[in-house]
Amino acid sequence: MAHQKATNLPLSKKKRKSFPPYPIRKASATGLKCGGMVIGCTFDHRVADAYSANMFLVAWAETAASKPLTTIPSFRRSLLSPRRPGLYGCSIDDFYVPVKATVVVPKGLHDPITSRIYHIPCEQLDRLQSEATDLKNGRPRTKLESFSAFLWKMVAKHACSNGGDAETKICKMGIVVDGRRRLSIIEGGLNEELMIRYFGNVVSIPYGGKSGDELKEKPLSWVAETVQEFLENAATKEHFQGLIDWVEAHRPEPAMVRVYSCSKDDGPAFVVSSGRGFTVAEVDFGWGKPVFGSCHFRWGGGCGYVMPMLSPDGSGDWVVYMHLSKGQLDYVETAAPHVFKRLSLDLITS
């Protein structure tokens, strides 16, 4: 989180204070010569998802400003208790795999992963949404579905441009789904209020896989429909209850999402999360609202990670953190410069 206190922003560090490291969380504050400040905080994703991180940061800011907490977090783990007996369908096995069963990718198989942050104007998001929507065959696509479909096509086109057998290899994309609202209705009545306040990790990562050639040649509306199909299979209460039962059945073996596991015969893979519910503008420690907020997620391997967030200025623009290969990032910048604009100081302070 970056807080601005002056219009001229020399981004040299004035002082830095790190709080004592904890097993799960670590925070730091970096003062700038201009009087502004950068707040950083790390979380262990096994126990806290982005939704929980947002709850923590907002509560931290409210406490610092001596304000009452707008949301009291719930740590009631029984909300995610497995069923007795457990029950899950084969679709869970399609999305998750025990770590011991994953394929070890040879070193050097994938291009090195790097990170860049982009600014995407709201009018470009509206255009992508319009192009991705086929009203004759289904409901309108969301902005996240449309953007994800567009990026999936871009990554596939880049893979195909490298020649060889890239066109026949499967290009995979996963999208993070929050299960809080899906799990809010339980036996005996509505439990939405408790689940909305739940602090923990309540996400699933369904994914789809198509050949590079298919993604390259098909229209954006077709790709968006594919995205909608694999999301609909996971955006249900039964999916998340099945996932809880699946995890319980495989204890203590750790597991991972299949989109992350790949072999030499696979094409590129990446995951799109959604920080659009991350209320950056509400993280006010008392010295002004943030002018910028983003997320960095380093999980190693060759699978990319993309995190779209709403701009704190309320314009509807997106700030998108992208953790992909340098070749993929260079390609999307060249092929769609009207969509992917590298974030600059001018964009933050304008």
| DSSP calls for 94-112 | HHEEEGGGSPPPPTTSSPP
pLDDT over 60 at 187, yes or no: no
Quote the pLDDT of residue 21: 45
Quote the pLDDT of residue 147: 97
**Quick one: CA dihedral 57, 63, 65, 69, positive or negative?**
positive
Three-state DSSP class for residue 195: helix
- Average pLDDT of the residues in 193-204: 89
Least reliable range by pLDDT among 7-21, 236-250, 285-299, 309-323 = 7-21
- Give the helix/strand (H/E) hosting 2: strand 2-3
Quote the pLDDT of residue 110: 62
In order of 43, 88, 91, 131, the CA distances from 246 in angstroms are: 24, 6, 11, 38
- pLDDT averaged over the chain? 84
- CA dist 293 and 333 (Å) reads 21
- Average pLDDT of the residues in 110-136: 89
Confidence of residue 28 (pLDDT cuts 50, 70, 90): confident
Q: Are 173 and 269 in contact (CB under 8 A)?
A: yes
- Average pLDDT of the residues in 304-308: 93
Q: Are 112 and 304 in contact (CB under 8 A)?
A: no
| Prior bond of 85 cis (ω within 30°) | yes
Confidence of residue 109 (pLDDT cuts 50, 70, 90): low
Residues in the chain: 350
| Amino acid identity for residue 141 in this structure | R
Confidence of residue 5 (pLDDT cuts 50, 70, 90): very low
Confidence of residue 194 (pLDDT cuts 50, 70, 90): confident
Residue with tokens 């006010």: 284
Q: Comparing 6 with 316, which gets the higher pLDDT?
A: 316
Least reliable range by pLDDT among 23-27, 46-50, 109-113, 339-343 = 23-27
pLDDT over 70 at 22, yes or no: no
Domain range annotation of the chain: 45-349
Rg (CA), the chain: 21
Q: Comparing 112 with 244, which gets the higher pLDDT?
A: 244
- CA dist 279 and 154 (Å) reads 29
Q: Torsion-angle region of residue 344: left (phi > 0), alpha (psi -120 to 50) or beta?
A: beta
Confidence of residue 20 (pLDDT cuts 50, 70, 90): very low
Confidence of residue 154 (pLDDT cuts 50, 70, 90): very high
Structure token digits, residue 130: 């319009």
pTM score of the predicted model? 0.86
- CA dist 191 and 325 (Å) reads 42
- CA dist 41 and 54 (Å) reads 11
Confidence of residue 263 (pLDDT cuts 50, 70, 90): low
- CA dist 42 and 50 (Å) reads 11
Quote the pLDDT of residue 99: 81
Question: What are phi and psi for residue 315, nearest 5 degrees?
Answer: -80, -15
- Average pLDDT of the residues in 16-22: 43
Q: Which residues pair with 237 in a beta bridge?
A: none
Q: Comparing 45 with 149, which gets the higher pLDDT?
A: 149
pLDDT over 50 at 344, yes or no: yes
Instruction: Check if CATH label 3.30.559.10 holds for domain 45-349.
Output: yes
Confidence of residue 271 (pLDDT cuts 50, 70, 90): very high
- Average pLDDT of the residues in 41-56: 86
pLDDT digits (tens, 9 = 90+) for 53-78: 889 989 999 999 999 999 999 998 88
Three-state DSSP class for residue 89: coil
DSSP-derived pairing of the beta strands 304-310 and 318-325 = antiparallel
Quote the pLDDT of residue 120: 95
Quote the pLDDT of residue 11: 35
pLDDT over 70 at 106, yes or no: no
Q: At what angle do helices 143-161 and 122-132 cross, to 10 degrees?
A: 80
- CA dist 17 and 7 (Å) reads 24
- Average pLDDT of the residues in 289-300: 78
Three-state DSSP class for residue 350: coil
What's the angle, vertex CA 309, arms to CA 65 and CA 61, rounded to 5?
Answer: 10
- CA dist 310 and 316 (Å) reads 6
